[in-house]
């Protein structure tokens, strides 16, 4: 019987990352994926010459925590901000980095800019953890910010945290991610996230690991509060350690709930993910010159993906993705979700009257989980679940809903690295 040092449940970004790191360290690693494809919520597919990610995705800097130890690199198309970012405010379109139209339309005043610079400078010099429990709305009220600055911070929170809800978005998480973004920038993997996942699979295979698709884990086998393997439909596979890379909200479905501390169990079950409606458009020509698009109401985050990475669309055509960030409860209510979809498209076609006639195809996704956790004041880095499950030895977590730093998919890479480091510390041995 083949035995393994590690079993990883799930072949998304975090799962493949931790598997490659463990394989590189000498652990004979098996990855089990329920679906017949890899990538999870960052999977990629091709259509008529387009390379399309599943929803809205960017590549920030945390991938380096995984790829550098593996002596590999990702070909990242850095976001060319010089092409411009479109910002809508009360029906008026502005284009960053130019500020003249902001002043002309009174979207911002010079007083606002000076006020913002002064307060942001203080924040950037502070410890983000001091502001984890402070919502953006709370902070704006405390400094007497104008409604204009409140609209601006809604866009900042939307772009950085995928959370436009200022009454609960964490100011500390904004500071933390602003600091990281200032160093690493933002971009897109050339050829889509498929390239990232294939590189990690290549490393796993080279290190003697194994990936099984279409293989569902029924439950994690626990004996005497120790994870010893997994149960499939027709066999049990044992290993020295188990890593769950599914969203931590699903952990309780893979084992006897009574083994988890009640407070921990209730917390992970009720973690709030980001959610929304995503629309991809394949355009018959290059309609947009810019790279990003931000609207405060409804909260829309747009990426003109093929202006960042030209390989994602056929020559002289364009790939565009719009994400309307919503509360989870709204997406779960299909009637309300359909109303939001209609509103989203009406907004786009009003702002860009010729857009509709350029559409060759579109794909709509109702996403109950965009990212594993919303970075609100109740789910900051210091409060999110650890990468090691309490009370059960040899059971670890690598997913974008853990206490690893970052936002969105960035947490997946950070979590994999944090999980790997913890395993090395815990095991303290060479296999």
Domains and CATH numbers, the chain: 4-77+191-271+374-427 (3.50.50.60), 111-183 (no CATH), 275-367 (no CATH)
Structure tokens at 267: 């917390």
Structure tokens at 129: 């953890």
Q: Phi and psi for 369 in degrees, rounded to 5?
A: -145, 105
CA 431/CA 23 separation, integer angstroms: 10
- Per-residue pLDDT tens listing for the chain (431 residues): 568 999 999 999 999 999 999 999 999 999 999 999 999 999 998 989 999 998 888 888 899 999 999 999 988 888 887 888 999 988 888 888 776 767 776 778 888 889 888 998 999 999 999 999 999 999 999 999 999 999 999 999 999 999 999 999 999 999 999 988 866 778 888 888 999 999 999 999 999 999 999 999 999 999 999 999 999 999 999 999 999 999 999 999 999 999 999 999 999 999 999 999 999 999 999 999 999 999 999 999 999 999 999 999 999 999 999 999 999 999 999 999 999 999 999 999 999 999 999 999 999 999 999 999 999 999 999 999 999 999 999 999 999 999 999 998 899 999 999 999 999 998 764 44
CA 67 to chain centre: 18
Burial class of 31 by CB neighbour count within 10 A (0 to 12, 13 to 18, 19+): buried
CA 278/CA 335 separation, integer angstroms: 16
* CB-CB contact of 190 with 76 (8 Å): yes
State residue 1's pLDDT score.
55
State residue 105's pLDDT score.
66
């Amino acid at each position: 019987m083949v035995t393994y040092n590690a079993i990883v449940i799930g072949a998304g970004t975090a799962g493949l990352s931790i598997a490659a790191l463990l394989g590189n360290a000498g652990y004979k690693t098996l990855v089990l994926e329920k679906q017949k494809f890899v990538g999870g919520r960052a999977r990629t597919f091709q259509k008529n010459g387009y390379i399309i990610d599943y929803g809205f995705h960017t590549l920030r800097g945390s991938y380096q925590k995984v790829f550098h130890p593996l002596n590999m690199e990702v070909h990242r198309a850095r976001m060319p901000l010089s092409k411009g970012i479109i910002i809508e405010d009360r029906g008026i379109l502005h284009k960053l980095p130019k500020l003249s139209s902001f002043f002309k339309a009174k979207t911002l005043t010079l007083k606002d800019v000076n006020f913002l610079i002064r307060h942001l400078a203080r924040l950037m010099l502070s410890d983000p953890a001091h502001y984890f429990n402070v919502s953006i709305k709370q902070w704006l009220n405390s400094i007497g910010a104008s409604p204009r600055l409140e609209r601006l911070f809604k866009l900042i929170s939307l772009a950085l945290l995928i959370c436009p809800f200022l009454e609960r978005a964490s100011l500390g998480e904004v500071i933390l991610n602003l600091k990281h973004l200032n160093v690493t920038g933002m971009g897109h993997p050339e050829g889509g996230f498929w390239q990232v996942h294939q590189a990690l699979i290549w490393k796993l295979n080279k290190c003697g690991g194994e990936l099984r698709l279409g293989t569902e884990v029924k439950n994690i086998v626990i004996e005497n509060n120790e994870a010893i393997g997994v149960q499939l439909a027709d066999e049990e596979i044992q290993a020295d350690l188990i890593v769950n890379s599914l969203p931590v909200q699903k952990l309780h479905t893979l084992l006897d709930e009574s083994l988890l501390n009640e407070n921990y169990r209730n917390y992970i079950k009720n973690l709030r993910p980001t959610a929304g409606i995503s629309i991809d458009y394949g355009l018959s020509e290059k309609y947009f010159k810019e790279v990003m698009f931000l609207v405060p109401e409804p909260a829309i985050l747009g990426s003109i993906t093929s202006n960042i990475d030209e390989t994602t669309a056929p020559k002289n055509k364009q790939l565009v993705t719009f994400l309307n960030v919503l509360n989870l409860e709204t997406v779960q209510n299909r009637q309300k979700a359909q109303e939001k979809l209609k509103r989203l498209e009406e907004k786009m076609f009003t702002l860009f009257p010729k857009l509709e006639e350029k559409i060759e195809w579109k794909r709509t996704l109702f996403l109950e989980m965009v990212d594993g956790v919303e970075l609100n004041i109740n789910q900051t880095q210091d409060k999110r679940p650890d990468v090691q499950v309490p009370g059960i030895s040899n059971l670890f977590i690598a997913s974008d809903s853990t206490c690893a730093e970052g936002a969105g998919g960035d947490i997946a890479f950070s979590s994999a690295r944090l999980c790997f480091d913890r395993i090395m510390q815990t095991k303290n041995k060479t296999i």
